[in-house]
Amino acid sequence: MPLRPFAAALLAVAALAVPAAAPAGASTTATAATVPATTTTASASAVSGTFQQVTGFGPNPGNLAMYTYTPAGLPAGAPLVVALHGCMQSATDYYRDSGWTTFADRYGFAVVFPQTGSANNSLSCFSWFDAGKDARGAGEAESVVEMVTKAEALYGSDARRVFVTGLSAGGGMTADLLADYPDVFAGGAVDSGLPAHCATTQGAASGCQNSDQGLTPTQWGDKVRAAYPGYTGPWPRVAIWQGSTDTVVRPVNATELRDQWTDVQGVDPRPTGTRSLPGGTSQELYADAAGRPVVALFTVSGMGHGLAVHPGSGDDRCGATGAYFLDTICSSYYTAQFWGLDGGTGPTSPGLPAPTGLTANPAGANSITLGWQAVSGAASYRVYRDGSQVAGTDGPSFTDTGLAAGTTYGYAVAAVDATGTVGARSTAVTATTSGSAPRCFTASNYDQVLAGRATQRSGLTYALGSGESMGLWNTFVTHTLKQTGPSYFVLADGQC
C-alpha cells in the first residue's frame, strides 16, 4: 500500500535512505522478487558462514522474503536471531552492515533476515503502523514467525532462545512482534524504533514518530497485553537503542518504550544500574525482583537516526558504515551480551562489578600509567585503549607503552574472575602523552625534496633520516612523511 500521508510525515523517507552499494552480484532493490535467490558465501576475512534465500517457509500472508545467515559448523540447539531492516533497505544491506554476522560467528547462532519490498510498501518499510499486518496471526508478523519455525526445523535452533531486533520501521515491527508473540521471542532490541502498537493506521504514524502520546506506563503496557490476551508466560527482555539527536524517530519514543516494557515486566521505571559505554553511550538497566535486568535503555549522545555500528577488529567492534549505519558504538555487541548470547545470562551473569577510581597519567612522551581500585574476587584485569583490549594484568595498575607523543588516549578496565568471566567495564578516562604530536606531510616526491624532508640520488627519492625509499623523484609520485625527530622522517602513507 503506498504511503502518501506517511511519506509526508517522514518515517518512510528518513527511516532509512538509499543504501550503500551492495557486494558484486547482489541487488540493492528491496523488492523480494529481484534479490538473488542463490547461495552467496561471504568473504572468509569477514564471516565464515553462508548467506542465502530460503523459499517455501510456509504460509506467507505478509508477502515477505526470507534470508538466513548460518556460521560454519553451527551445532543443533543454538540460538536464533531475527534481524529486520529499515525502510529503503534490503536483507542484504542488513546482513552486510549491521554487524550481526560477526557475533553469529563468534557466539554460534543463526540469523534470519526477513525482507519486505515495494510491492508491500512504496518505500519498503515494515508495516508497524498497520493493524492488519502487525498483529498476532496476521500479515507480516505471521510471516516472520513462519520464518522462525522454518529456521528451527532447518538448523535445529533452540526454540527457547529466539530473539528479534530491528531498525526504525523494523524496530517498530520488532516491538509489535514482542507484544504479539511473547511465547516465541525470549528477547528483543528496538533500534531507533517505536513502542509496540503505537499506531494502528498510517495517519497516526507521524504522531508516534514525532511527539509524546501522553499515555501512562500502564496505558502503554496495556497495548502489549492486549496483543495476546490471556498470556501468562514470561515476557521478553527488551533492549532499547536511541540517538539523542534523532529527528526522525524522536527520543521520546525511547522513553515510551521504557515505560511500556517496565510496566509489562512489573519493574520500577527508575534504573537499578547505570554505566557509561564507548561512543558517548549511557546504559540504564531495569531489574526484576531477582536482580535480573529485563529492560535496558541505551542512549547514544549526539547520534541521529540509524543503527549504531563501530567497524574495526576489536572485540566490541562490528558492522560497516553507510546510509543510516552510524559509526558510534557496536549496538549488536551489547545487545548480544544483554540477551546472554555470549554464554552468560546478560548483565547479571556471574561477572564482577566494574572497577572504580580509574586514573590515567602520562609517564613521558610514549607511555601512560593507569591505576584503579581492586575488585574483590578478581583474578586479573583487562585493559582497554580506545575501546579495544590492549593488555591483561594481575594487579590494579598498568603502564601502557609504545604510544605516540602529544596524543590523547581513552582507557577503561574490567575485572576477570577465576573462571574467566569478564565483568563490566569501568567508566572511561583519558590522558595525553607529553611532547608534541608527530607532524605529517603529504606531497609529491619532488616537493618533499624541495622542502628538505627527503633527498634524491640518481633520480630516486629517500626519506631524510630513515633513508626509506620513496620511488622516482618527480611530481607524479606522492607520499606521506611523518617527522619523528629532528631531521628524521619515516614513510607514513595512510597512517596520518
Name the active-site residue from 168, 192, 331, 426. Answer: 168
192 has catalytic annotation: no
Backbone angles phi, psi at 152, to 5 degrees: -60, -35
CA-closest candidate to residue 129, choices 83, 173, 185: 173
d(CA 491, CA 496) in angstroms, rounded, equals: 10
Grid cell digits, residue 394: 594481575
The answer to whether the beta carbons of residues 164 and 79 sit under 8 Å apart is no
Helix (H) and strand (E) counts for the chain? 11, 27
Question: What amino acid is encoded at 146 in this protein?
Answer: E
**Residue 439: partners with Cβ closer than 8 Å, 6 or more residues away:** 482, 483
Phi-psi sector, 198: left (phi>0), alpha (psi -120 to 50), beta: alpha
CB 24 within 8 A of CB 87: no
- Any idea what the Cα angle at residue 142 is, between residues 124 and 146, rounded to 5°? 105
Residue length of the chain:
496
Rg (CA), the chain: 25
Dist. CA 16–CA 168, nearest whole Å: 8
CA distances from 457 to 138, 356, 479 (A): 77, 58, 17
DSSP states of 77-136 = T--EEEEE--TT--HHHHHHHSSHHHHIIIII-EEEEEE--TTTSTT----TT-TTTSST
Report the C-alpha gap between 77 and 109 in whole angstroms.
Answer: 9
Cell of 40: 552467496
Cα of 407 vs its chain's centroid, Å: 28
Helix (H, G, I), strand (E, B) or coil at 34: helix
Cell 628524521 found at = 488
Q: Which residues are catalytic?
A: 168
